């Protein structure tokens, strides 16, 4: 088995190298073939709105604002257009580490990530039209009602049914003729594993379902954003039906926001083709650059922690906790489950000539896989855990039909940064095994981190410190997640399926007796892996809350005409993948921003004519 896997891995690596060379070529030709090459005189034109970032949130905001045909919207995206090849769902993971990825990394972690090179976690973030939705697993789950009740608890008159649900429903209209819809569909391809696992969880007394759209305790097959087997995101719809009153300029990296009187945003400065340009807007600047780049842009513009900005020689404008409150869904447990059989999804299946034929002819087959085939939600902190209830879960189980040894360490483990020491002494011993992935995901971590500027150079990557597992409660819950996986694998159903639990001692944990809580704590602190869900660095909340950056209207506090709409605004993590929640908030923000001018008969609010040097 090892020889066959090794040969297939080499073929896979060759094809991957050719693919990366091809997209490098596409990057080279982007300037000459897209709107990026259009010459526009930004010094003369004043747009109504400028949207910075064309990711999941930015694409929605730009499209919704442009529904008013009397306004002009400029969208500035630091990345490039995605080729149609990137609509293949299974290619998301191979885009990591390419020019479509910002390739961010955290600082060395003190209490976690010990199995990773230098204790550093890799944070892929999309640098492409579509943002990180071009790299993710496309899982669409609304979250739990209590998530939103917590976020908006201080908002007067808030009601989940009237304030949240309508925006999810607006997102989920599955009609190609309905402007602005995304497509929420069933998984286009699954192996036999989910069906077996749904029987196993019933043995444990948990509920099973055919699909999951809203978080509830139990297990089910997730909904995803696909159409005819193709990746379909909010940015996909934006590109295919882009209004004529929107100008999208790619390869344009915004470095700062321009202000009148240190509080009113009227424009941005950005870099394009080695030159600096500026663009102006009369109604608003919307920053949708993501959880890392949004706080970076704000701090580069003088909006952020006063002491930090002064230390870097940046003149502070407004003292706000920008970059604080960083949190992420973290997980552990790769290749903890072994099978005595192979599933129809490995490298051999992917490289089979029938796979591309099935995809390009009929939009089906293994190339449409998103990786995760089953999700489960449990409340592990209960005294009698894992019972079904309406309470908010604290752990999510993500089930994938492959392990990271599938390519014998050529690519997947490098994306996560697993060290040679850990790989050679643990994972390499599994080359002759079939492995599957059961990941317990910590939904509501107590640990908090931060993002800071490294210096005032726009080309420098920011300092990212999530402070993973700095709170012991987070470790304890992940250990309970491992314990649940053990219970699941011990069921009669899984035993009959040929599953067994991996009992190899993880390197670095030899001093602990295997299968004790202290051993699993050691394991979790070594194999600490991001779920790629960072949020919170521009926290939204009540105007008087000193921990918030934005008010409930998505406005940066202490400013005028400056908004933030992306994953950075989330006060806490939702009880699921945050993808759907971010898009829902983008729909909400779009209505709020448009309503600001619903009674305006010019490009200015009435009171703004009295502000000196106003752009109006």
Is 181 within a domain? no
Task: Assess contact for 349 and 368: CB atoms under 8 A.
Answer: no
**Taking residues 22-45, what's their average pLDDT?**
61
CA neighbours closer than 13 Å in the CB half-sphere of residue 418: 24
Is 19 within a domain? no
For residues 287 and 225, the model is more confident at 287
Q: What is the CATH number of the domain that holds 405?
A: 3.30.410.40
| Domain interval for residue 506 | 186-224+330-442+470-527
pLDDT at 608: 47
Is 53 within a domain? no
75 marked ligand binding residue: no
567 marked ligand binding residue: yes
Is 314 within a domain? no
pLDDT at 337: 97
Is 498 within a domain? yes
Task: Assess contact for 146 and 393: CB atoms under 8 A.
Answer: no
pLDDT at 283: 97
Q: Is the pLDDT of residue 384 over 90?
A: no
CA quadruple 484, 490, 493, 494: dihedral sign: positive
Is 133 within a domain? no
Nearest CA to 216 out of 145, 266, 310, 123 is that of 145
The model's pTM is 0.93
**Taking residues 192-205, what's their average pLDDT?**
93
pLDDT at 12: 80
pLDDT in tens, 222-269: 999 988 899 988 888 787 778 899 999 999 999 999 999 999 999 999
98 marked ligand binding residue: no
Pairing of strands 434-442, 230-231: unpaired
Nearest CA to 64 out of 568, 565, 594, 605 is that of 594
Q: Is the pLDDT of residue 48 over 90?
A: yes
The whole-angstrom separation of Cα 422 and Cα 428 is 9
pLDDT at 598: 67
Is 316 within a domain? no
* Range list of β-strands (E), 77-205: 104-105, 122-123, 139-140
Nearest CA to 574 out of 220, 151, 218 is that of 151
Provide the domain count of the chain. 1
51 marked ligand binding residue: no
Could you tell me the pLDDT band of residue 175, with boundaries at 50, 70 and 90?
A: very low
Is 478 within a domain? yes
What is the token pair recorded at 516? 């004790």
């Amino acid at each position: 088995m090892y020889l066959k896997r090794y040969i297939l891995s080499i073929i896979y690596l060759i094809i991957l190298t050719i693919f990366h060379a091809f997209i490098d070529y596409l990057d080279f030709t982007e300037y000459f073939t897209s709107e990026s090459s259009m010459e526009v005189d930004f010094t003369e034109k004043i747009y109504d709105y400028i949207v910075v970032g064309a990711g999941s949130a930015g694409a929605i905001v730009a499209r919704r604002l442009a529904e008013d045909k009397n306004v002009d919207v400029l969208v500035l995206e630091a990345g490039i257009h995605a080729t149609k090849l990137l609509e293949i769902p299974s290619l998301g993971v191979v885009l990591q580490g390419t020019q479509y990825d910002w390739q961010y990394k955290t600082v060395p972690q003190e209490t976690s990530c010990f199995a990773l090179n230098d204790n550093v976690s890799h944070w892929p973030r999309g640098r492409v039209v579509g943002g990180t939705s071009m790299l993710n697993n496309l899982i669409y789950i609304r979250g739990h009602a209590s998530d939103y009740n917590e976020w908006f608890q201080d908002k007067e008159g808030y009601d989940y049914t009237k304030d949240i649900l309508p925006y999810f429903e607006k997102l989920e209209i599955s009609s190609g003729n309905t402007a602005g819809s995304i497509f929420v569909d069933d998984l286009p391809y699954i192996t036999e594993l989910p069906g077996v696992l749904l029987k196993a969880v019933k043995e444990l007394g948990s509920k099973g379902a055919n699909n999951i759209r809203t978080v509830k305790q139990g297990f089910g097959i997730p909904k995803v954003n696909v159409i005819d087997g193709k990746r379909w995101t909010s940015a996909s719809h934006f590109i295919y039906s882009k209004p004529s009153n929107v100008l999208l300029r790619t390869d344009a990296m915004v470095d700062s926001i321009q202000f009148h009187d240190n509080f009113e945003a009227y424009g941005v400065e950005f870099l394009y083709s080695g030159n600096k340009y500026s663009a102006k807007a009369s109604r608003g600047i919307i920053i949708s650059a993501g959880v890392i780049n949004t706080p970076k842009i704000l701090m580069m513009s003088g909006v952020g922690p006063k002491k930090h900005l002064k230390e870097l020689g940046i003149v502070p404008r407004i003292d706000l906790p920008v970059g604080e409150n960083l949190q992420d869904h973290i997980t552990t447990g790769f290749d903890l489950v072994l099978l005595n059989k192979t599933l129809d999804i490995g490298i051999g299946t992917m490289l089979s000539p029938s796979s591309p034929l099935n995809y390009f002819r009929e939009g089906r087959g293994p190339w449409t896989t998103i990786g995760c085939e089953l999700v489960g939600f449990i409340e592990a902190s209960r005294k009698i855990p894992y019972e079904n209830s309406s309470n908010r879960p604290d752990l999510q189980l993500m089930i994938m039909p492959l392990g990271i040894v599938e390519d014998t360490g050529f690519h997947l483990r490098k994306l996560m940064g697993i060290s040679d020491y850990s790989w050679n002494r643990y994972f390499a011993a599994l080359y002759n095994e079939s492995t599957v992935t059961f990941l317990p995901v910590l939904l509501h971590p107590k640990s908090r981190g931060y993002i800071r500027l490294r210096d005032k150079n726009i080309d420098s990557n920011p300092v990212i410190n999530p402070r993973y597992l700095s709170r012991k409660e987070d470790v304890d819950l992940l250990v309970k997640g491992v314990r649940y996986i053990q219970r699941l694998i011990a069921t009669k159903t899984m035993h009959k399926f040929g599953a067994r639990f991996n009992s190899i001692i993880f390197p670095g944990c030899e001093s602990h007796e295997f299968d004790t809580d202290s051993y699993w704590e050691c394991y979790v602190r070594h194999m600490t892996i991001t779920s790629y869900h960072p949020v919170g660095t521009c926290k939204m909340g009540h105007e008087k809350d000193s921990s918030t950056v934005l008010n409930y209207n998505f406005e940066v506090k202490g400013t005028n005409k400056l908004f933030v709409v992306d994953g950075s605004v989330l006060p806490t993590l939702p009880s699921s993948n945050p993808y759907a929640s971010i898009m829902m908030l983008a729909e909400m923000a779009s209505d709020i921003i448009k309503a600001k001018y619903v009674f305006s008969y010019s490009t200015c609010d009435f009171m703004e004519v009295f502000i000196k040097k106003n752009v109006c």
